Amino acid sequence: MPMNLQRRPPSPVEKVKYLYLAAEEGATAGIEYFPYFHVEVRIDFNDVRTGLRETVSLNKALEIYSDNADLLWIADMVRDVDADKTAPLPPDGVHLSILPAFVNANFISRMETQFIQYLLRSFAVRLYRNSVLNVYSFSGESRAEFSGRCLELLNGPKREELDLLHEVIDRRLEQLKEKYLGMDESGGLEQTKEEVQNKDIFSHYSERIADLFLKAELLVHLPIASSRYLPGMQELEERLMALELEAQKAIATLRDTYEEKARSLDECILHPNLKDIRFVRSGILWMPKKAA
């Protein structure tokens, strides 16, 4: 056996705790394990401005490069650890490298201090803020998810504007009805051939326009149709076709405006404060370099 390897757990160092990363099943024999500084912390975010109330658990490991525990940590040096795969005893058949003699309670304490400094500099939670609604995303909510939620929050004011637009179009329809369908002295619709034809045309387009607003309420995206005035088309039909196209464009503009409002997002980066960080445990984690 090489001089720098040992098969048994290292002799206890006062106040230094050991953990071991589980090896892949069936691949433990002869694997060499090396010591890493290991820390588990919880960060309690309680941010009044964004409304974030969350505890984040972190399990990290750092290779022990030297006895200088005051080295500045950078992100590439810090490794994630799956806490569910750690155990207080080493896997069968592994070889443990020699624990450096400078590793003691004081060294671990200094490493904890450096880890706190690393978290204050580097760790952050990214949120999104909608500048129109002045609301923030939830932790873990993607940009697309948050934008979709904002669109739902904007449905109320969008529906109000849609109803106002519908009222304007309905008044325009009523004006066309009075002008082109006509009324006799008794208040009934004249039943001339031209009036019957106009009534059918009016009914056709009024139903189409009503359907536009119904589908707008159902959030159905409709392509804007181009108007085509055919030879021999009556004036009423031309006016109704133009009104339908005007309604289409107004609905599309309203929809696009609110979708743009839902996408009006800013990033918000939250860093922890010192009081937010709680140590759960720290010590030495033994693991193979290929796992690290």
Helix (H) or strand (E) segment spanning residue 56: strand 53-63
Record the pTM: 0.69
Helix (H) or strand (E) segment spanning residue 6: strand 5-6
Average confidence (pLDDT) over 192-221 = 83
Tell me the one-letter amino acid at 169. I
Residue range 71-129, pLDDT digits in tens = 777 777 889 999 999 999 888 888 888 889 899 999 999 999 999 999 999 999 999 99
Q: Please, how many CA atoms are within 13 Å of residue 17, restricted to the half-sphere of its CB? A: 12
Alpha carbon of residue 278 to chain centroid: 27
Which residues have a Cβ under 8 Å from the Cβ of 95 and sit 6 or more positions away? 1, 5, 6, 7, 30, 31, 32, 33
Interatomic CA distance for residues 206 and 244, integer angstroms: 8
In SS3 terms, 82-118 reads as CHHHEECCCCCCCEEECCCCCCCHHHHHHHHHHHHHH
Examine the pLDDT at 174 and tell me if it is beyond 50: yes
Q: What is the DSSP string of 183-244?
A: --TTSPPP--HHHHHHHHHHHHHHHHHHHHHHHHHTT---PPPPP-PPTT--HHHHHHHHHH
Under the banding of pLDDT at 50, 70 and 90, the label for residue 29 is: low
